[in-house]
């Protein structure tokens, strides 16, 4: 989701599940998605009637994704404030579900030039269950600082800090993003990550390139192989737009003891429109196949089907 600035510094992120259209004053319209945004009279957005990702638990470990407030407050200049998000609060099931809670996801503060600051994200704080669940915590996910021309800087990402459980969970930590150190019994090494190297183009667009994101080396006893990742191979279009394509993002090969398969993910296949816009489509994001020991099934996800 590389954003190109509009003439006033605002970016146009459109024709996706979360469609952003620039208003006349630099505000964006987030509309026609599962999270319905209605614009206010002065360009601000209202994110409401969010039934986003309401998961009903099954009796053996599924998660309940509920009480999504995902509240958009409007600023006086048309920028959006996505704040106080209780998004994705997961209530643990009996013996191994994870609690995704206290999410301040996507707190947007408007800059004076229309750029948005996505910061202080406690996204995806996972509380570990008793049998090997992972803790995804202290996430400074996607702290965006606006540049002088409206471009964003995605930096200081501590995304997906995982604390291992006692039985072979993975440690995803000290991320310049997602640098994995293997545990002694089967954790994965997520390494060589040049993730999200942003180079500004002459027109303010950013080039996300040379991404070896999420190269996983399997351990000997059940780690998962995240491989064939062409994640975020960006090709610049003639007008500065980028093509995020051929993404085999997060193809996981399950081990024998309960790993999850995140597969067939065409996540974030971006096709540039004639005006530089991107199309986020055919997302089968996060299709999880459960193992036999209480792993969660995140399946048939209409989540972010773009």
pLDDT digits 0-9 by tens, 273-303: 333 333 232 222 232 232 222 332 222 222 2
Q: Provide the CB-side half-sphere exposure for 11 (13 A, CA).
A: 25
Max Cα distance, the chain (Å): 59
What's the CA gap between 240 and 89, in Å, rounded?
Answer: 38
Task: Answer whether 190's CB lies under 8 Å from 215's CB.
Answer: yes
Q: Could you tell me the two tokens for 256? A: 């024998």
Task: Answer whether 9's CB lies under 8 Å from 150's CB.
Answer: yes
* Inside any domain, residue 41: no
Q: What is the pLDDT of residue 184?
A: 29
pTM: 0.14
What's the CA gap between 74 and 32, in Å, rounded?
Answer: 18
Q: How far is residue 264 from each of residues 86, 130, 231, 282, 304, measured CA to CA in Å?
A: 29, 30, 13, 11, 14
What's the CA gap between 296 and 306, in Å, rounded?
Answer: 24
* Inside any domain, residue 24: no
Q: What is the pLDDT of residue 135?
A: 31
* Inside any domain, residue 223: yes
CA dihedral 35, 73, 161, 222 (to 10 degrees): -10
* Inside any domain, residue 282: yes
Domain residue limits at 267: 191-306
Q: What is the pLDDT of residue 277?
A: 32
Q: How many structural domains does the chain have? A: 1
Q: Could you tell me the two tokens for 197? A: 């190297």
The 10s digit of each residue's pLDDT in 164-221 is 333 233 322 223 233 323 322 233 322 222 222 222 233 333 333 223 333 333 333 3
Q: What is the pLDDT of residue 54?
A: 28
CA-closest candidate to residue 64, choices 97, 96, 106, 95: 97
CA-closest candidate to residue 172, choices 138, 220, 202, 205: 138
Q: What is the pLDDT of residue 2?
A: 31
Q: Residue 38 carries which DSSP code?
A: E
* Inside any domain, residue 18: no
What's the CA gap between 171 and 160, in Å, rounded?
Answer: 9
* Inside any domain, residue 136: no
Q: What is the pLDDT of residue 67?
A: 28
Work out the end-to-end distance of the chain between its first and last CA atoms, rounded to an integer number of angstroms: 13
* Inside any domain, residue 182: no
Q: Provide the CB-side half-sphere exposure for 111 (13 A, CA).
A: 21
CA-closest candidate to residue 208, choices 225, 196, 223, 191: 196
Specify burial of residue 56 (Cβ count, 10 A radius: 0-12, 13-18, 19+). Answer: exposed
What's the CA gap between 112 and 79, in Å, rounded?
Answer: 9
* Inside any domain, residue 185: no
Task: Answer whether 68's CB lies under 8 Å from 91's CB.
Answer: no
Residue listed under structure tokens 């055919």: 282
Rg (CA), the chain: 19
Low-confidence ranges of the chain (pLDDT < 70): 1-306
């Amino acid at each position: 989701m590389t954003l190109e600035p509009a003439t006033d510094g605002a970016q146009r992120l459109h024709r996706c599940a979360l469609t952003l259209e620039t208003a006349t004053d630099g505000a964006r319209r987030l509309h026609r998605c599962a999270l319905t945004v209605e614009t206010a009279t002065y360009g601000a957005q209202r994110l409401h009637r969010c039934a986003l990702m309401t998961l009903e638990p099954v009796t053996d470990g599924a998660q309940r994704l509920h009480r999504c407030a995902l509240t958009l407050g409007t600023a006086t200049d048309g920028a959006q404030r996505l704040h106080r998000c209780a998004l994705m609060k997961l209530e643990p099931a009996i013996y191994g579900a994870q609690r995704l809670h206290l999410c301040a996801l996507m707190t947007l503060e408007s800059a004076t030039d229309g750029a948005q600051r996505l910061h202080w994200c406690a996204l995806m704080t996972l509380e570990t269950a008793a049998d090997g669940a992972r803790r995804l915590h202290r996430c400074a996910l996607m702290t965006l600082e606006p540049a002088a021309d409206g471009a964003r800087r995605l930096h200081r990402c501590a995304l997906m800090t995982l604390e291992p459980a006692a039985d072979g969970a993975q440690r995803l930590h000290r991320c310049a993003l997602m640098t994995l150190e293997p545990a002694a019994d089967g954790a994965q090494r997520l390494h060589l990550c040049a993730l999200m190297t942003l180079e500004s183009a002459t027109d303010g667009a950013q080039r996300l390139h040379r991404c070896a994101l999420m190269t996983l080396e399997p351990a000997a006893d059940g780690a998962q192989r995240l491989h064939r990742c062409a994640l975020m191979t960006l090709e610049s279009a003639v007008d500065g737009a980028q093509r995020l394509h051929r993404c085999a993002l997060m193809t996981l090969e399950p081990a024998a003891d309960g790993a999850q398969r995140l597969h067939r993910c065409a996540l974030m296949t971006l096709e540039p429109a004639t005006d530089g816009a991107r199309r986020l489509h055919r997302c089968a994001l996060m299709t999880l196949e459960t193992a036999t020991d209480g792993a969660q099934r995140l399946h048939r996800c209409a989540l972010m089907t773009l």
